[in-house]
Structures are given as C-alpha cells and as structure tokens.
Amino acid sequence: MRRALLPLLLTVALLGGCSTPTPEAGPPPAPAGGAAALPGPVPADLALRPAPGTAPAAPAFTGALTDGTPFAAAELWAQRPVVFTFFNSWCTTCASRQAALSELARSYRDRVVFVGVAGADQADEVQDYLRAHQVEYPVVLDDQQTIWRSYAVREPPAVVLVAKGGALLRGWPGGLDAPTLDRRLRELVLAGQP
Amino acid sequence: MRRSIMTLLPLLLAGATGCGAVGATQEAVSPTTVRVLVRDINIRAAGVDCAGTGPYTHFHNRAPYRVLDPDGAAVASGQLPAGTAVAAFAEDLGVERMPTYCEFAVAVRVPQRASYRLEVDGRPALDLTSDSSEGPALVAVVPS
C-alpha cells in the first residue's frame, strides 16, 4: 500500500512544483517615506482654527526624503497643518507608539500632514522601522541632526505641531500617544471638531 | 537502522561537543553587570526608556559596545539595551517630567582582569570601576 502511494506522491509533488510561480526579479519597492508618501491636494472643506498671533514662527528647513526627494517644510505648512515626529529606528518608545500614530496619520491624510524626521540613523534600519510600523507619511533623513537642533530636540521621541502658515503651536518632548495627539489636533488646529 | 543510530548518537554528540574545545582552554568567566550613568540632566519622566543626549547620543538602544581588558582586547561585546531615566535629584519636584539621568545596565560575563574599559559605538573607551554595593558590577559615570 505504502509502495503504491509513492508514485502518486511524486506526481503530486512534481505538479505542485510546476504550478509554483517563478519569482521574477522586478524593480525593488520604492523606499517607504519617499515622494510617494507626500500628500495630495488639500480637501476643499478643510476648516482650521486661526493660529494665535503670539505663536512664534516654526524654524523652516529643507532636507531630503528617504528616496532623496528634496523636501521643504514651508511648502507643506503653506497649505495645511503639519505634525513633525522626531524618531530613531532604535527608539523603543517610538516603536511602541508608532502603529497608532501611523493610523492617526492615515486618518488625517491630506488635511494634517505628518512628517517623520529621523536623526543620525542608518537608512536601512529606518526602512525596516517604517515598514514594520506601516508608516505611510513622508520621512526626512536628518543625518547631521540639524533639524533636530533647530527644534531643540535632544532625544526621541518628540512631536511638534505647526499651524497652516508656519506658526509653531506646540512641542512635546518625549512625544505623546496617538489618542492624545488626536485630541490636541482637534483643540488646536481643526475647526468644528468635537 | 534505528538501533545503529542509537548506537552512534552518543558518539556523534561527544564528537560535536569536543569540537568546540579543540585547541583552546576555556577561561573562567564571571557574571557581572556593566552600569553606565549618563548624567545628561535631560527632562524626562522617571522610569521611561531613554538615550543619552548632548555629547552622549551614542548611548542608546542597539548601540554596539565592547568591554576591553587592559591590553585592549575585547572580553565581552554586544548591543546596549535602552537606558532607564532616573531622577537627578532626590527632592520630589511634584511634576511628572523632571531632570533625569539615563542609566544603562547590561549583563555580561568577563574573565578576571586587573581593570576594564567600556567602548560604545567605537568612541573613546570609558574606565569601568568595580562596585559590589548592589551585586557584582562594573560602573562608569559620564561626565565623571
């Protein structure tokens, strides 16, 4: 009986092998956090609270996204509020909060733009981090930590909120979790939000 | 067939075990904890994960380290864990976030040597001092 089954098993194995798709060497996936993660047009119904006149101007900066695309912060906040998340791939607190922040960023996509700023990190480890935590917003590589210093960020995580027009609304050294950030966005920038 | 494998198994295991010790005398090692206190006085909540700041940003989770003996040979190596924020002052300031230091602790096994140094991420090594106040430890404080 066992011997009789052998040809059948071999046949099944061979047929199975034939049906297995041959992996084709396609183009490598686009880096997470690159140009493809930049936002689309601002929704026409976006209603914002006016920024307080006493708020200082956020430090404007330029840099490059993970795929080398030039990035100018002022171009983004000219159209809508921006949340900067300062992080590192090795940061345990960042990692523990990132999935929820990624989801929050998706929920606000095109209305409030999230931008990650990775300070003095390894590009491949940043990619691993972004993919592991489903980060779908643009990420600037701040190799010399000049952006970090301009925002007085000493340690990850940190979150900074900039109003449309460039007013620096709030900064949270140590970061904050997604539900709290969501609540602060409704309080500080989004008009007509419960 | 099964019987022959059972006969050979002890011999195979003995051979495999023996291979690791061929030509080398295993030096005795003792468990200890390397502790580094980074006195960066950064504002944090006590107890949270932390990394060094200012001149000590190379102290962070996953940073490579080596424990060196007086000849500069590595006697232990690995990656640092995240640090833990400890209050810089004993007084209760009544606030959640306070001035803190960032303390790193990593368990290692090292052979007996006259002294040790700690190198983190290829930076200049720090002198480690033996301290048995809370169990065997090799400690460093920066800035000293």
The CATH number for A71's domain is 3.40.30.10
Q: What's residue B16's pLDDT?
A: 43
Nearest residue to B85 (alpha-carbon basis) of B97, B72, B94: B97
The length of chain B, given as a count of residues: 144
Q: Which two tokens stand for residue B143?
A: 């800035």
Residue A121: list chain B partners with CB under 8 A.
none
Domain-embedded: residue A166 = yes
Question: In terms of residue numbers, what domain contains A139?
Answer: 57-188
User: Which residue from B48, B60, B97 is facing A90, i.e. has the nearest CB?
Assistant: B60
3-class secondary structure, B2: helix
- Inter-chain CB proximity B43 and A173 less than 8 Å: yes
Q: Which residues of A touch B54 (CB under 8 A)?
A: 154
Contacts of B60 in chain A (CB under 8 A): 88, 90-91
Cβ-defined contact of A93 to B49 (cutoff 8 Å)? yes
- Among all residues of chain A, which has the CA nearest to that of B52? A155
The residue ranges of every structural domain in chain B are 35-142
Let me know if residue A14 belongs to a domain: no
Is B85 within 8 Å of chain A by CB?
Answer: no
State how far the Cα of A174 lies from the Cα of B43, in Å rounded to an integer.
9
- Mind listing the pLDDT tens digit for each residue in A124-179? 999 999 999 999 999 999 999 999 999 999 999 999 999 999 999 999 999 999 99
Please count the helices (runs of H) and the strands (runs of E) in chain B.
1, 9
Please indicate, yes or no, if residue A88 is contained in any of the structural domains.
yes
Convert chain A into a string of H (helix), E (strand) and C (coil): CHHHHHHHHHHHHHHHHHHCCCCCCCCCCCCCCCHHHCCCCCCCCCCECCCCCCCCECCCCEEEECCCCEEEHHHHHCCCCEEEEEECCCCHHHHHHHHHHHHHHHHHCCCCEEEEEEECCCHHHHHHHHHHCCCCCCEEEECCCHHHHHCCCCCCCEEEEECCCCEEEEEEECCCCHHHHHHHHHHHCECCCC
Question: Each residue of A70-96: b (16+ CB within 10 Å) or e?
Answer: ebebbebbeebbbbbbbbbbbbbbbbe
Q: Is A17 inside a domain boundary?
A: no
pLDDT of residue A5: 54
Cβ within 8 Å, pair A92-B43: no
Per-residue pLDDT in tens (0 to 9) along chain A, 194 residues = 455 555 555 444 444 444 445 556 788 889 999 999 999 999 999 999 999 999 999 999 999 999 999 999 999 999 999 999 999 999 999 999 999 999 999 999 999 999 999 999 999 999 999 999 999 999 999 999 999 999 999 999 999 999 999 999 999 999 999 999 999 999 999 997 66
**Which tops the pLDDT comparison, B131 or B22?**
B131
Tally the domains of chain A.
1
Q: Hey, CA dihedral for B107, B110, B113, B115, is it positive or negative?
A: negative
| Residue A4 counted as domain residue | no
The answer to whether B52 touches B102, Cβ cutoff 8 Å, is yes
Q: Is residue A1 part of a domain?
A: no
Q: Is A61 a domain residue? A: yes
Q: Does A78 touch chain B (CB under 8 A)?
A: no
In the three-class reduction of DSSP (H, G, I as helix; E, B as strand; rest coil), residue B107 is classed as strand
Chain A within 8 Å of B76 (Cβ-Cβ)?
no
Please indicate, yes or no, if residue A6 is contained in any of the structural domains: no
